[in-house]
Amino acid sequence: MKFPDFQSVNTLEQHIQKTLAFYKPNVFDENGGFFQNFRDNGSIYDPHTRHLVGSARFVFNFSMAARHFKDSSYQTWIRHGLAHLETAHRQTSESGYAWVLGKDGVEDDSNHCYGLAFVMTAGATALLAGVAEGRKTIDSAWAIMEKHCWDEEAGLYRDEANADFSVIDPYRGQNSNLHSCEAMLWAYEATGEVRFLDRAEVIATNLTYTLADKWGNLVWEHYNENWEIDWEYNKNDPKNLFRPWGFQTGHQAEWAKLLLILHRHRKNDWSVLTAKTLFDSAVDIAWDDDNGGLCYGFDLDGNICDGDKYCWVQAEGIAAAALLAKTTKETIYKDWYQKIWEYSWEHLVDHKYGAWYQSLTQDNQKINDKKSPIAKTDYHTMGACYEVLRSGWL
């Protein structure tokens, strides 16, 4: 296969535009928000179910497009998406944002810090795109997270609660904190308020430096309420959508990316070295020499426990490799950037209809025809391209 120049601004911008074009004909719901659940050809297989994460990610997608391409026409879409978050997902002033909406209204009214983080990211990127309403969404998500989710002693966020936050689940996880760190970085860029950058640094330090130092310098997924590692959580459910078992290759790469964004805003002695450790360890274990691509997860002994190839894992690998190449000037990261892109371009990018296939088997066979199932919106794939462009590396 002949590959385009992945170090070309034009290549990445054209790829973003083609991915957006996959969604644009059918995604806008005149009755509120955006449709989720797309098949490979762009048709919708479930017009009713809306996940909070998907609703917020579409706002991110259109906000990034509006800002990068200086296209004000997207502002109508951004306001439309924010309104859906604040009127359909948002519940009473004493509760938060409903996790899942269905045909007849709220199907799951539980509160998840993971979802709140994406609400904040939506608000922040909307504000960066010139939509003033994004500020209200930032403040709303921050207030809820601060009051109900923040664990001051641990310096990390709690994960899950019921509708009115009267019951806090004992589970603690890194994934909600990863995306909370990301949300704080976006909020800092949007507002210039140092409290957001401070919070991002605290989260990143506690998870990728303090806690990871106890577990082989990699980030484990699951903990109990005292932030002691839980080795057994979801061990029998390795493909859980938000809480899979094992060391997740994509999360090591995603943390590497976030640490380098943090370093961009606040230089320190540890974030670049930690980013290198996370990325180097993950790709060394998870790269599939026989079939190409980064496998999904590996166990405590460094054996692959889930060999499937997920689009978001490759995308985060691409972004992390680019930022490492930019920051360290080491050729190996330029090589990884090219290697992961080539695999993704050949196997995961849909050159007929646009966007990326969600996942493949370890030997690169399609699993189903659901390209963008609920909550999946090509947020990672377009986001990786934007981050490479934002880095100034190209």
Residue 24: CB atoms within 10 Å: 15
pLDDT in tens, 4-63: 999 999 999 999 999 999 999 999 999 999 999 999 999 999 999 999 999 999 999 999
Cα end-to-end span (Å), the chain: 23
> What DSSP designation does 145 have?
I
pLDDT per 10-residue tile (average), the chain, 394 residues: 97 98 98 98 98 98 98 98 98 90 97 98 98 98 98 98 96 97 99 98 96 88 95 86 91 98 95 97 98 96 96 98 98 98 98 98 97 97 98 97
Determine contact, residues 9/394, Cβ cutoff 8 Å. Answer: yes
Please tell me the CATH code under which domain 9-391 is placed.
1.50.10.10
Helix (H, G, I), strand (E, B) or coil at 356: strand
The Cα–Cα gap between 146 and 183 comes to 13
Say how far apart CA 373 and CA 358 lie, in whole Å.
Answer: 8
Nearest to 6 by CA among 336, 352, 356: 336
Catalytic residues: 251, 380
Q: Give pLDDT, residue 79.
A: 98
- Give the domain ranges of the chain: 9-391
pLDDT tens per residue across span 332-351: 999 999 999 999 999 999 99
Q: Are 31 and 87 in contact (CB under 8 A)?
A: no
Whether this model's pTM surpasses 0.85: yes
203 φψ region: left (φ > 0), alpha (ψ -120 to 50), beta (else)? alpha
